[in-house]
Structures are given as C-alpha cells and as structure tokens.
Amino acid sequence: EEEEEEEGWHRLYPGHIPTSSLQKALLAAGSAAMALYDPYRHDMVAVLGETTGCLALPNLRDKMKNHPEGYCILQERPHIRLSTLDMARLQGLPDGSLGREYVRFLEDNKVSPDTRMLPKFVDDEELAYVILRYREVHDLMHTLLGMPTNMLGEVVVKWFEAIQTGLPMCVLGAAFGPIRLSTRKLQVLATELVPWAIRSGLNASCVLNVYYEQRWEQPVESLREELGIFPPP
C-alpha cells in the first residue's frame, strides 16, 4: 500500500483518475484511434492529450513559470468560461478588438467555452491546470489565427498548436486531420495554410504566456504582432 501511495495513486484534484503507465498507453491508443476515426470526438482528443503529454506539459509549465505574465496566470489560475466572461461587455467592445472578435467567433461558429473537458488523467495538479488552460485558449487561437471551426480551420490551428506546445495530440491532429479534406482544400492547406501556420508557430512567443482576460480591449492585429504571428494568408 505504501508503494501505491508513493506512486501517487490518490486523487490530486477533483475529477482526477489515477492511472498506471500501461493504462495511460492503452487510453492513448484507444483515444488516438477514435480521434482519427472521428476528429470531432473532442473527448477522445482530450484523453489523448492528457495521456501523451508527459514531456510537453512540464515544458509548457516551465515556459510559463519563466515569463512574468505566464507566472501570473499559474499563480492566479484564471478560467475562461461563460461564468467568468462578461459577454455584454465583450460584445460592446470595438470591432477588431480581441474581446469583440472572440465573441464573434463563438457566435459565428456556435461554440461555447463551457464545452472544454476538465482534465482527468494528468497526475500533477499544476500540469492539469496547464492543459486545461491550453484547452480554454484554443478558441482564442482560432480568433488570433482567423480560422473557422471547420475541418480546414481546425487542421491549421492544430499545426500551429503542435509547433507551439509539442503536445503529441496536436501533432497527430495536424498529421491526420487532413485525410478527410477534398483535393482542392488539401492543395490550399499544403501550399499556403500549413506553411504559414508552421512559420507562425515557430516565430511566435508562447501563446500560454498571454493573460487574455486582461487584453480584451487590445486589437487582434496588435496582439498578433506582439506575439509574432504572421498575418493570415
């Protein structure tokens, strides 16, 4: 029993499900298969991210710890949900501002920040917050990159996130997401969108080090420039 306790076989945060390395591997394989079969199974994509993020997540946390804004986020643990957003204020912001464009993105694509899954399989409370934060800012990545939530848009955002985070599930989504696209879309993806997403991902500073909640009034273009994201093609 002591050994089990040492292995961290107790719940570290609400909803945490302790798993062994073998269980994680099985969950990763199963969720990868399901996510490839149906890329819109966000729950499977989420499980894949948690069970394979053991190297990327500590790296992301360290990037946040060594950055003043990122460190502040880790200390204060903000959440982006309908309960924490002042939607009326965001809707009233000028066109082109991050807050206004984010709400427009949510409305146009009929998505809600509340659909993000809470982590279950990450065996470290702080890293669990890091992956949740990554999920909660995913729609802001769409906003910053000017990409819709269709398959093409998702693949482009995944390429950007794969370069930025090193999370295996992003790499997998970036690599296999395009298999369902038409030839014409694949051509646009290969010649324009993916090269731009990769260049932007490599050039941009870490997107988790932006306290988005404090920057709703900032124009999207100025935030893009600040981060080092090239203008969308």
Average pLDDT, integer, range 191-206? 96
Is residue 206 within 8 Å of residue 164, measured between CB atoms?
yes
Is residue 72 within 8 Å of residue 78, measured between CB atoms?
no
Instruction: Give residue-wise pLDDT tens across range 128-177.
Output: 999 999 999 999 999 999 999 888 999 999 999 999 999 888 888 888 88
Is residue 53 within 8 Å of residue 62, measured between CB atoms?
no
Q: Worst-scoring range by mean pLDDT, 71-75, 133-137, 171-175, 227-231?
A: 171-175
Nearest to 53 by CA among 135, 115, 176, 143: 135
Is residue 109 within 8 Å of residue 148, measured between CB atoms?
yes
Is residue 194 within 8 Å of residue 79, measured between CB atoms?
no
- Name the pTM for this structure: 0.87
Of residues 16 and 3, the one with the higher pLDDT is 16
Tokens of 188: 């646009």
Average pLDDT of the chain to the nearest whole number: 90
- SS3 string, 118-139, reads CCCCCCCHHHHHHHHHHHHCHH
Instruction: Write down the pLDDT at residue 9.
Output: 62
